[in-house]
């Protein structure tokens, strides 16, 4: 029989109140407190906390506290990624972020969701869907990225957008729900 954690990681219905998961969230909260209470010049402390918290971080990774997440161990971040103030990642399933991505203040990325059926939802079961973000993506302040979304490389998510479905590469999306506003120039191939 699967544990609640195994169910969570597989994207199946699970109980978040499970003892193991509750302890892991508490561990993440303790690390986040260190990060969020750190002084601006405590760069080494911040780096150490992020290395303990996340599954993987690339070179030149930066966060402006406060920052929030559920577990941390489901977050993989590429090189040269930056999160501005007050970002939240609900990482019950993997959240994978490519290289050279920028996140404005108050960005929210949700891998967590709840059943539509009230009887199941009332049993406190929940589930998640992975979120993937390609390389060179810019996410404007206050944007929300919903569970199961894949954002293609080089795309821009406008401030305040609510992204509910896949975003192809090389587009600007905005609105609620987000829709393609403009196709962006594809990078030229060097010869």
Q: Which residues are catalytic?
A: 114
Using only the alpha carbons of the chain, give its radius of gyration: 17
Determine phi and psi for 112, rounding to 5 degrees.
-90, 145
Query: 64: which 2 tokens?
Result: 């402006």
User: How many angstroms separate the CA atoms of 190 and 101, rounded?
Assistant: 22
Give the DSSP per-residue string, 22-69: HHHHHHHHHHHHHHHHS-TT-HHHHHHHHHHHSSEE-TT-EE-S-EEE
């Amino acid at each position: 029989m699967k544990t609640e954690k195994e169910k969570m990681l597989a994207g199946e219905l699970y109980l978040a109140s499970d003892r193991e998961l509750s302890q892991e969230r508490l561990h993440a909260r303790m690390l986040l407190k260190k990060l969020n209470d750190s002084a601006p010049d405590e760069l080494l402390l911040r780096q150490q906390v992020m290395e303990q918290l996340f599954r993987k971080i690339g070179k030149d990774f930066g966060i402006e506290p406060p920052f929030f997440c559920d577990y941390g161990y489901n977050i993989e971040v590429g090189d040269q990624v930056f999160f501005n103030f007050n970002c939240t990642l609900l990482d019950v399933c993997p959240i994978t972020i490519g290289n050279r991505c920028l996140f404005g203040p108050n960005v929210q990325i949700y891998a967590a969701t709840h059943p539509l059926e009230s009887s199941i939802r009332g049993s406190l079961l929940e589930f998640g869907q992975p979120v993937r973000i390609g390389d060179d993506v810019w996410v404007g302040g206050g944007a929300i990225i919903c569970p199961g979304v894949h954002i293609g490389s080089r795309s821009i998510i406008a401030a305040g957008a609510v992204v509910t479905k896949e975003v192809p590469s090389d587009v600007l999306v905005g609105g609620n729900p987000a829709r393609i506003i403009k196709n962006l120039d594809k990078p030229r191939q060097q010869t």
